[in-house]
């Protein structure tokens, strides 16, 4: 009886997946061939429920996987579909577990149910990347329902109900909070390393930049989980000289235009991108500019609004996904829900720091087809390019001319800092 039900769920989930899939198997194959990593569709998990908007409380737990794949010797990372928000379950080869964020409060029970469906009873490392509702809201449910080892949070506070409730829940359970900051090493057992690369400063204007950024390395494979870190934090990570290169990049801030700067993307050089984002969210996530960049670099994108829960499995050499990549369609702003505490997209892309926000493939040429982007090597030997209209453009001597930002970056030039 139960088996039948699960089977039916699985079949319908497969149908949803095949309907929602935006690439044909051939396309997917062609894509993955260039990445030299295979997408294994056999491990599909029946988690793909239509994405729920965040305003609706979730009473029903998420569908359980029809079969829990064995994790022995494998690193399994689940990007749980929590609508607009983040929640990422990491199951290390050692059996240790980490949960990074838990979505909005209404998603708490879904997150707990998903974790249990993976036969996990204890979260060894719980990370609240930053104190925004769409990341910590569901955390009290997780803390109250499961065993918890260490809790990490950045030294940032806010006066929201979600934040107060999280602190109370942590206290009631007798847990203490360790500070999430760059350099912290997380214990996920042998054979795997997990290290925080951000936050690098003690104060930020924007809570998003307090986001704990975690790099997980297992054998030859690596994952970079960025929370809602924005360009300021990205610049700090670049400046600190960390090895940012990762096979899978959890795109920052739900694909917002304020994250995933070109310089950062070029340093990470991901083979795959994952975006945790709700369908028809109020913020227009993921942003057009972010999707343009990912498309330009032909990075397959897995997104929870199209794929549901995304499960990436590493055997230390190869990473496989339970679903096919989604498409590069940006979010629209027609959504009617608004419970996330992320920054509303009222500012325009024009107000962002220039340079980082040009589209890599955008062509700057004069009427004779000559490139207009100036490549300058300054007195320190730094190779910096300037696009027409930036404050230094007219004062800059061009050693090289480029037609696109991508061309300039390929030649080793970077955008100006500010
Ligand atoms: Zn967020």
* Longest pairwise C-alpha distance within the chain: 75
Residues 6+ apart with CB under 8 A from 276: 79, 82, 85, 86, 87, 88, 250, 254, 303, 304
User: Is 314 found in the same domain as 183?
Assistant: yes
Distance of alpha carbon 173 from alpha carbon 230, whole angstroms: 32
Query: What's the gap in Å between 345 CA and the centre of ligand 1?
Result: 13
Query: What's the gap in Å between 111 CA and the centre of ligand 1?
Result: 16
Q: Does the pLDDT at position 51 exceed 80?
A: no
Residue 104 lies in a domain: yes
Query: What's the gap in Å between 206 CA and the centre of ligand 1?
Result: 12
Distance of alpha carbon 89 from alpha carbon 113, whole angstroms: 12
Contact by Cβ (8 Å): 215, 223: yes
Tally of domains within the chain: 2
Residue 28 lies in a domain: yes
Query: What's the gap in Å between 83 CA and the centre of ligand 1?
Result: 11
Query: What's the gap in Å between 332 CA and the centre of ligand 1?
Result: 17
Distance of alpha carbon 243 from alpha carbon 105, whole angstroms: 34
Nearest Cα to Cα of residue 46 among 71, 87, 12, 82: 12
Tens digit of pLDDT for each residue in 198-252?
999 999 999 999 999 999 999 999 999 999 999 999 999 999 999 999 999 999 9
Query: What's the gap in Å between 239 CA and the centre of ligand 1?
Result: 24
Residue 184 lies in a domain: yes
Residue 417 lies in a domain: no
pTM exceeds 0.75 for this model: no
**Omega of the bond leading into 199 within 30 degrees of 0 (cis):** yes
User: At 109, is the secondary structure helix, strand, or coil?
Assistant: helix
User: At 3, is the secondary structure helix, strand, or coil?
Assistant: helix
CATH code where residue 217 lies: 3.60.15.10
Query: What's the gap in Å between 341 CA and the centre of ligand 1?
Result: 7
Residue 318 lies in a domain: yes
Query: What's the gap in Å between 115 CA and the centre of ligand 1?
Result: 20
User: Is 271 found in the same domain as 237?
Assistant: yes
Q: Does the pLDDT at position 2 exceed 60?
A: no
User: Is 163 found in the same domain as 59?
Assistant: yes
User: Is 314 found in the same domain as 403?
Assistant: no
- State residue 418's pLDDT score: 57
Tens digit of pLDDT for each residue in 306-363?
999 999 999 999 999 999 999 999 998 654 333 343 433 333 333 334 445 467 777 8
User: Is 367 found in the same domain as 273?
Assistant: no
Q: Which residues surround ligand 1, an ion (CB under 5 A)?
A: 134, 228, 342
Q: Does the pLDDT at position 181 exceed 60?
A: yes
Burial of residue 150 (number of CB atoms within 10 Å: 0-12, 13-18, 19+): middle
Beta 319-321 vs 373-377: how paired, if at all?
unpaired
Residue 372 is part of which domain span? 361-410
Show the tokens assigned to 285: 């996530």
- State residue 120's pLDDT score: 97
Contact by Cβ (8 Å): 246, 215: yes
Query: What's the gap in Å between 259 CA and the centre of ligand 1?
Result: 11
Query: What's the gap in Å between 384 CA and the centre of ligand 1?
Result: 32
Q: 169-185 burial by CB neighbour count: b if 16+ within 10 A, else e?
A: bbeeeeeebeebbbebe
**E strand or H helix at 4, and its extent?**
helix 2-20
Average pLDDT over residues 261-284: 94
Contact by Cβ (8 Å): 255, 287: yes
Q: Does the pLDDT at position 3 exceed 70?
A: no
Residue 418 lies in a domain: no
Higher pLDDT, 126 or 284: 126
Residues 6+ apart with CB under 8 A from 48: 13, 16, 17, 20, 81, 307, 308, 309, 323
- State residue 5's pLDDT score: 52
What's the gap between Cα 353 and its chain centre?
Answer: 21
Residue 206 lies in a domain: yes
User: Is 372 found in the same domain as 302?
Assistant: no
User: Is 365 found in the same domain as 333?
Assistant: no
Tens digit of pLDDT for each residue in 36-45?
334 443 333 3
Q: Pick the last residue of a domain from 350, 371, 399.
A: 350
User: Is 375 found in the same domain as 345?
Assistant: no
Query: What's the gap in Å between 207 CA and the centre of ligand 1?
Result: 10
Show the tokens assigned to 1: 């009886």
Residue listed under structure tokens 């990370």? 127
């Amino acid at each position: 009886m139960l088996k039948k039900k699960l089977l039916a769920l699985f079949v319908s989930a497969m149908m949803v997946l095949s309907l929602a899939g935006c690439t044909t198997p051939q396309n997917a194959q062609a894509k993955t061939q260039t990445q030299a990593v295979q997408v294994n569709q056999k491990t599909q998990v029946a988690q793909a429920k239509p994405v729920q908007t965040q305003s609706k409380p979730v009473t029903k737990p998420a569908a359980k996987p029809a079969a829990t794949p064995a994790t022995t010797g494998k690193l399994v990372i689940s990007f749980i579909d929590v609508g607009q928000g983040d929640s990422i379950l990491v199951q290390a080869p050692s059996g240790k577990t980490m949960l990074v964020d838990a979505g909005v409060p209404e998603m708490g029970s879904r997150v707990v149910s998903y974790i249990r469906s993976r036969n996990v009873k204890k979260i060894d490392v719980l990370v609240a990347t930053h104190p925004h509702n769409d990341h910590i809201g569901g955390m009290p449910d997780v803390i109250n329902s499961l065993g918890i080892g260490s809790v990490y949070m950045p030294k940032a506070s806010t006066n929201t109900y979600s934040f107060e409730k999280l602190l109370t829940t942590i206290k009631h359970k007798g847990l203490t909070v360790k500070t999430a900051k760059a350099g912290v090493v997380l214990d996920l057992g042998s054979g795997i390393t997990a290290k925080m690369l951000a936050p690098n400063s003690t104060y930020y204007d924007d809570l998003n930049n307090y986001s704990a950024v975690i790099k997980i390395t297992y054998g030859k494979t690596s994952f970079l989980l960025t929370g809602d870190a924005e360009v300021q934090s990205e610049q700090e990570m670049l400046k600190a000289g960390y090895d940012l290169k990762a096979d899978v990049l959890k795109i920052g801030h739900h694909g917002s235009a304020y994250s995933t700067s070109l310089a950062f993307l070029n340093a990470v050089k991901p083979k795959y991108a994952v975006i945790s984002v709700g369908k028809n969210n109020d913020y227009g996530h993921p942003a057009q500019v972010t999707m343009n960049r990912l498309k330009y670099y032909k990075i397959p994108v897995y997104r929870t609004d199209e794929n549901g829960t995304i499960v990436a499995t590493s055997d230390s050499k190869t990473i496989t996904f339970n679903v096919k990549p989604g498409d590069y369609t940006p979010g629209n702003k027609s959504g009617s829900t608004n419970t996330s505490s992320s920054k509303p997209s009222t500012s325009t892309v024009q107000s962002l720091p220039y340079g980082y926000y040009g589209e890599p493939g955008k062509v700057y040429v004069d009427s004779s087809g000559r490139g207009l982007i100036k490549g300058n090597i300054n007195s320190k030997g730094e190779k910096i390019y300037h696009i027409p209209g930036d404050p230094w453009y007219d004062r800059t001597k061009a050693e090289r001319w480029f037609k696109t930002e991508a061309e300039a970056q390929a030649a080793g030039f970077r955008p100006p800092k500010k």
